[in-house]
Structure formats: structure tokens, C-alpha cells
Amino acid sequence: MKVTITDIARIAGVSVATVSRVVNNKSKGVSEETRKKIWQLVEEYNYQPSAMARGLVTGTSKIIGLIIPDITNPFYPVLAKGVEDYASEKGYHMILCDGGNDPHKELSYLKFLEEHYVTGIVYNNFREISEETLSRLRNSSVPVVFVDSKVAIPQSRNLYIDNRGAMAGVIHYLYAQGHRNIGFIGGPDDSYSSIERFKGYKDALQDLQIPFREELVVYGEYTTRGGSRAGQLLLSRNVGLTAVAVCNDIMAVGMYDACESLGLTIPEDISVVGFDDINIARLIRPKLTTVKQPTYEMGYKSANMLIDIIEGKQHKVGHDKVFDTELKIRDSVKKLINYDRS
Amino acid sequence: MKVTITDIARIAGVSVATVSRVVNNKSKGVSEETRKKIWQLVEEYNYQPSAMARGLVTGTSKIIGLIIPDITNPFYPVLAKGVEDYASEKGYHMILCDGGNDPHKELSYLKFLEEHYVTGIVYNNFREISEETLSRLRNSSVPVVFVDSKVAIPQSRNLYIDNRGAMAGVIHYLYAQGHRNIGFIGGPDDSYSSIERFKGYKDALQDLQIPFREELVVYGEYTTRGGSRAGQLLLSRNVGLTAVAVCNDIMAVGMYDACESLGLTIPEDISVVGFDDINIARLIRPKLTTVKQPTYEMGYKSANMLIDIIEGKQHKVGHDKVFDTELKIRDSVKKLINYDRS
DNA sequence: GACATTAGAGTAAACGTTTACTCAAAAGCT
DNA sequence: AGCTTTTGAGTAAACGTTTACTCTAATGTC
């Protein structure tokens, strides 16, 4: 049988209020002596307060939710670790919700979190957020921090990297290495990050006065298979590519597969650049040149922002936080020395 | 303001009991007409039952907990996905707890789960379970399913692979390829899987009448870095190794690093076999020969077993479930053709 | 020494559900 | 027609806390 606060109170010969005060470390109203006695009893009987009863009366909890689309994508465990680490430093627990890229499931998780009085939510979804989810979020009173998307609702903050600029940087780098025919493999077409990165691609082309060619770009799912399919399609077009910028690392890995199955070597036959710098990037051969995102830090910081909002320590200025990225130059890009300099 | 069951009852002109019956789909006691009206109101006012109030009175929840040591280890996201998929099929939610390989944190999560009236727990920890955790588990009334460890407590079931046999199989395979000097890189020395796999290693040596040599085995953390360090140590001993069996894939990846930094090529200079068959195994070059675990299925099945226990559908026979493994032969093992056959 | 403050503790309402009981009306039986 | 059963619904207790109030005795102040 579970031991309750009433049991402890009875055994200690005090009221439940006193026990409650002790257990919650209220500074007032209990003598040191009584405190000690009660703690001892708590230990002895292994009393654990019911989170349900507590939540019911306080209307809140020490739980934050993390909603992500796919834990199987190596980007997310790292993000989750960041969130969880900060949260647990502050005495919060984290509930991880894998929406599985399914708007219904995501919505059901959102309900679940609300029903459990979570105090805040860190939200990431690379796809566009469904109208229903968004309106629920908007009408709910729980603060939300969006990672890597820009959603403007009152109680929320955003936290992201400069996707557009970073991708432009990639193209400039490839250009500097002598590449002129640069392809682009994008993610799902409603993906915020993919859209932004594509803009960066076009920005750079314009800057460099390279005409944009539709046939050099192709889209796919944010998975290895998606990258592989997209890569094969792109390569099969025979458009004289010397390099391709891929929208994320797991797709880039798929690109490696595509090249291998078509008998092409990286970087001799074609150069590849990824995005994210997941672990795998430096493990595959050739090591993948990619844009490093501070994934762990983003998770950590997003929990930080969220808990600050929760506890009313909202930063006055700079509601959003933009993280820096870094181009990690490794072995998947070839320098084209013979390129005719203009 | 949150809308409660009382609000709905008032608006509908019925008692809260009736609303409760409708919302919980109780088959009896409410006319179709009333049902319809209430559902409509629920929609309209976006009524969400308080999980806290409900949990408080029922003393239970539709939540299962998954405790793992490190979500960053690519084995676990897949396991988690399996658990989560089955759970959500059955209308349960999953709380993922990353114990971070820290007994204190793990214990704190366990308390957290209990306080929240979770109905069951899927538990994995590659290290030995701390005495405190174990006793808490033993005295608690929530059913537990242990994945990949063999813990005998009443309310629990175990679910694992034949680590010992599988590793023996690896050694036999290496032997068949002509290898005689086979090293072993193990995980943490209190890790169940590592211990079992080491037994398999010794079993095979004995079967094959190869004398066991202490200097061919070395241990490390279950991380890439751990594998790399262990690999360097082992290689630096100059003991004439031709092959090494590594206790898991991320350590094997570390072994790749070690070889590279020492200027050795796999498999020409040394053959490597891993364990787990995580995604990375087929992405690194040379592709890693490894033992495939049905990770997703294990997660899925463990949730299945757990929920069966919870719902009283306990299988009569065969309390434990053993999964098959499969040796995935890829490119990291060289056949030694010149070996003197005896 | 009279009064005000404070420390230590108790009382009881409130949180939002579920559910065992109760009850009246309607429906079934013979 | 008189009985029993079923149906639709309401009443109220219970779940385990927190917390605003209240109360008493001790301590402090002038």
C-alpha cells in the first residue's frame, strides 16, 4: 500500500499541513526538531508525494515537454540531451514526444502534455506546423520555445541558426574551390530549414552571377533513403555537376550511396557538402565537409529560455536567439585547380 | 481559464457523472441523445480532462516509462521508437528517461515515474543496476520489463538476445576466415552485455582449442572514444593480432579511428567485427561486419509484453523472450588464405 | 507590565475527476 | 394489472495534496 501524507502526519503526531511544509521546504512555520523528525519518517516509510494530487491543487508541474518529429534522426538525440541536461539541472523533468512526422500524433501529444499540466514546451518540427496545432498552441497558456523555426505567437520565443546565410556560405566556399555547376538537394518542400537553405543557395548564385538552373535542384525526404533517391535522380540528369550542396547530413549520406551505386567517387568525380555535422559526418569516408550546428547548445539554451520564461526571468531584450554555425572543412570537396579564372 | 467537467455539465444541464460517463465511453447509463450533445460541447469548449484529477482518483495512468542510459548512443533511439510505436498503438504514452549513465539520475527518474503513477516501465541499463534502484523496483507494484539484462524480480519479465552465443559465433566466423590471433574489446566491466559477450569469446576459444591470452583483451566505455582508446591500447601491445571482435558498433567505429591514426588499414592489416548493427555500420568504409540485433523489434515487443502484463493478458508460458541475432557479413574482415591449415 | 509581534502548528476548503449508490420512470413479464 | 428488470441519470464520497486562515503561546518592545 502506498504511504500518503496523512500516514506520515498520523505517525509523527502532527497535521498534514506540517508535513507538507517540511516536504516542500517551506522556510516558515516548522521547528527544526519537527522538521528532522518528519524527514526521518519520510525516509523510513519511503514516502513519495503524489504528483497527481500536487498537480491537481497547484495546477502545474515541474515537467517540460519536448516535441520532435523523429528521434531516429541523429540530430534529435543530441538536441534532446541538451534540453534534458538543462532541465534536470533546474529540477525539471522532460517528457520526450516523438511526433513521428505525423500531425495527428503530434496533436495527440500536445493534448497529452496539456492534460498533464506541463509548464512549458520546446517544440521542433521541420515541417510546417499544422493549423490545428498552431491554434492550440496559440490558445494555450503554456510557454513555448520553437527551435529552428520562426513562429510568432505571443507566449513564445524562437531559437534558430541563420540557415540562409550558412547555405550561402557553403556555395561561396564551393565557388572558391573552383566549382561553377553546383547542385542542390533539398528536404521536404514545407520544411522551414530546407526553404531557408534553398534561399541561401539562390542568394549565393545571384551574388556570384551564376544563373540559376532548375534542373540542378531536387528534393527528397530528410532521410538517408531520401538523399539517395534525390542524388540518383540528380546525377542521372547528366547536367555536368561538379558539386552538390545537400540540405542535411543524413541526406548527404544517402548521396554517398547514390554515388557509389553509380560508380562515382567523392570528391574526385563530385564534391558533396552536408549540413548539421552529425556524428556520422566525420566517420564516413571521405569525411564529410558540412555546416556545424551547435545542436547540443541549442537544446540546452532552449530549455534555458523556456525555464526563464516559466520562472518569470524573461530577458527584456532580444527575444529570439540566433546561433552561429561553422563550416567544417573535411575531405568531401575537391579543389578544381584547372578552372578557367574569369 | 481552463474548462472543467463541471462547466460542461452545467452548460449541458446534466450532472458531472454523466459527462464523465460520456467522455470515458462507458457503454451504459447515457442516452444516445445526451451523448451527442455532450460530445458537441466538449468539442466546442475544447474540454480536456485533467490527467491529474483523473490519476488521483484512479491511482493509475496510461503512461509507461522507458529508462535508458544514453539516448545519444544510436542503439537507443531505435529501441525507443519501437516502444513508443507499440505504446501509442495501444493508447499509451511513453515518457523517455535518459539516466545519463548516472545511478542518481536514474533513481530520480524512477521516483518521478512512480510519483506520476506510471503503469509500467521498460528498463534498460547496460551497467549493473544499483542496489537501491533494484530494491525500489522490487518493492514497487509497477510491472517492469527488462531489456537486455536478466533480472529476476517478481513483477518483471526479461527480454534479451543470446549475447554469449552470438559472440561465440563471431569468433567461429573469424576462425573460419583463417584468423587465430583474435583480440577482444569489451565494454564497461559491469555491463551485462559485455560480460556475456566476453563469455562467448572464451567459449569459442575453448571450442577451437585456442589458448586464452589475457593481453588480447581490453575494456573501455561504450562510446566511440572508449573504442578508440581501447583500440590504441590493444594495438600498441604488438601482440600479432589479425582480428578483433569489438563489443559494440560505436566502439568498433572508435577502433576504425585508432587504426587510422596508427596507419593501419582495415581489413588488410586487421579485421574488425562489431555488434548491434546500428545504421552507421553500413555507412562507414569498409562497411562493418557486425551482429545484427533486432533493436526496433525488441523495443516493440517489450512494450507489448509490458502492456500485456498491465492489462492482465499475461502469457502463461515462456516468461522471457529471447531474440535471434544475425551476423551481417560486410567488408571489415579479411580472409587469410595463407594460413597454415592444421 | 501591557501590548504587539512572531513562531509553530492546526483546520478545512479547494483542485477536477471517477464511481458506488440511489432513485424514478419506463419497459418487460406473466 | 401487478410485479420485476432495465435505463438514464443524479448524489456525494473519495483520491492526496497545498494553502489561506486561524489560533495559542512565546518572545520582544517601550
Residue B1 has a pLDDT of 65
Q: Which amino acid is residue B202, in one-letter code?
A: K
Lookup: cell for B109: 527518474
Residue A1 has a pLDDT of 65
Return the ∠ at Cα A283 (arms to A297 and B243), rounded to 5°.
Answer: 135
Residue A141 has a pLDDT of 85
C-beta of residue B330 within 8 angstroms of C-beta of residue B287: yes
Residue B316 has a pLDDT of 47
Coil, helix or strand for B312? coil
Residue A315 has a pLDDT of 58
Name chain A contacts of B52, Cβ cutoff 8 Å.
51-53, 55-56, 116-117
Outline where DSSP puts E strands in chain B.
63-68, 93-98, 120-123, 144-147, 156-161, 182-186, 217-219, 243-246, 271-276, 289-292, 321-323, 326-328
User: Angle of helix B51-58 relative to helix A51-58, nearest 10 degrees?
Assistant: 140
Q: Name which of A3-12, A120-129, A253-262, A332-341 the model is least confident about.
A: A332-341
CA distance, residue A180 to nearest chain B CA (Å): 29
Identify which of A221, A284, A72 has the alpha carbon closest to the alpha carbon of residue B281. Answer: A284
CA distance B100 to B92: 24
CA distance B296 to B299: 5
CA distance, residue A250 to nearest chain B CA (Å): 10
What is the pTM assigned to this prediction?
0.92
Q: Name which of A71-85, A325-339, B163-177 the model is least confident about.
A: A325-339
> In the predicted model, what is the mean pLDDT of chain B?
92
C-beta of residue A38 within 8 angstroms of C-beta of residue A18: yes
Mean pLDDT, residues A250-270: 95
Tens-digit pLDDT profile for residues B117-130: 999 999 998 888 88
Q: Name which of A14-18, A231-235, B70-74, B317-321 the model is least confident about.
A: B317-321
Q: Is any Cβ of chain B less than 8 angstroms from the Cβ of A146?
A: no
Which residue, counting CA atoms, is nearest to the C1' of nucleotide C7? A29
CB contacts under 8 A, B 63-102 vs A, are 71-72, 74, 76-78, 80-81, 84-85, 88, 93, 95-96, 98, 100
pLDDT band with cut points at 50, 70 and 90 for residue B39:
very high
CB spacing of B48 vs A111 below 8 angstroms: yes
- DSSP letters for B259-298: HHHTT--TTTT-EEEEEE--GGGGTSSSPPEEEEP-HHHH
pLDDT band with cut points at 50, 70 and 90 for residue A232:
very high
Does the pLDDT of residue B155 top 90, yes or no?
Answer: no
Helix (H), strand (E) at residue B86: helix B75-89
CA distance, residue A192 to nearest chain B CA (Å): 24
Distances in Å between the Cα of A227 and the Cα atoms of A162, A218, B179 are 22, 10, 38
Q: What DSSP state is assigned to residue B44? A: H
Which chain D nucleotides are covered by protein, judged by CB under 7 A?
7-12, 14-20
Return the ∠ at Cα A203 (arms to A73 and A236), rounded to 5°.
Answer: 60
In terms of DSSP bridges, do strands B326-328 and B289-292 run parallel, antiparallel, or are they unpaired? Answer: antiparallel
Mean pLDDT, residues B13-26: 92
C-beta of residue A222 within 8 angstroms of C-beta of residue A250: yes
Closest chain A residue to the Cα of B82, Cα to Cα: A72
CB atoms within 10 A of CB A242: 20
Asked whether residue A21, judged by its CB, lies under 7 Å from any atom of the DNA or RNA strand D, the reply is yes
Give the nucleotide with minimal C1' distance to the Cα of A48.
D16
Among the partner-chain residues B95, B114, B224, the one whose CB lies closest to the CB of A48 is B114
Residue B338 has a pLDDT of 61
Does the pLDDT of residue A316 top 50, yes or no?
Answer: no
CA distance B282 to B271: 16
pLDDT band with cut points at 50, 70 and 90 for residue B342:
very low
- The percentage of residues in chain A with a pLDDT greater than 90, rounded to a whole number, is 80
pLDDT band with cut points at 50, 70 and 90 for residue A126:
confident
CA distance B288 to B269: 15
Tens-digit pLDDT profile for residues B65-109: 999 999 999 999 999 999 999 999 999 999 999 998 899 999 999
Give the nucleotide with minimal C1' distance to the Cα of A50.
D16
Q: Is any Cβ of chain B less than 8 angstroms from the Cβ of A265?
A: no
Residue B340 has a pLDDT of 52
Q: Is any Cβ of chain A less than 8 angstroms from the Cβ of B294?
A: no
> In the predicted model, what is the mean pLDDT of chain A?
92
Lookup: cell for A57: 491543487
Q: Name which of A40-44, A212-216, B50-54, B335-339 the model is least confident about.
A: B335-339
Q: Which residues of B183-218 are buried (b: 16+ CB within 10 A; e: fewer)?
A: bbbbbbeebbbbbbbbebbbbbbeeeebeeeeebbb
Which residue, counting CA atoms, is nearest to the C1' of nucleotide C19? B17
Residues 36-65 in A having a C-beta less than 7 A from any atom of strand D are 47-50, 52-54, 56-58
Distances in Å between the Cα of B319 and the Cα atoms of B144, B164, B307 are 12, 20, 14
Q: Name which of B155-159, B214-218, B282-286 the model is least confident about.
A: B155-159
Does the pLDDT of residue B318 top 60, yes or no?
Answer: no
Tens-digit pLDDT profile for residues B258-293: 999 999 999 999 999 999 999 999 989 899 999 999
Among the partner-chain residues B46, B80, B114, the one whose CB lies closest to the CB of A71 is B80
Among the partner-chain residues A51, A105, A115, the one whose CB lies closest to the CB of B116 is A51
Mean pLDDT, residues B55-59: 93
Mean pLDDT, residues A219-223: 94
Q: Is any Cβ of chain A less than 8 angstroms from the Cβ of B115?
A: yes
CB spacing of A283 vs B80 below 8 angstroms: no
Mean pLDDT, residues B26-50: 90
CA distance A41 to A20: 13
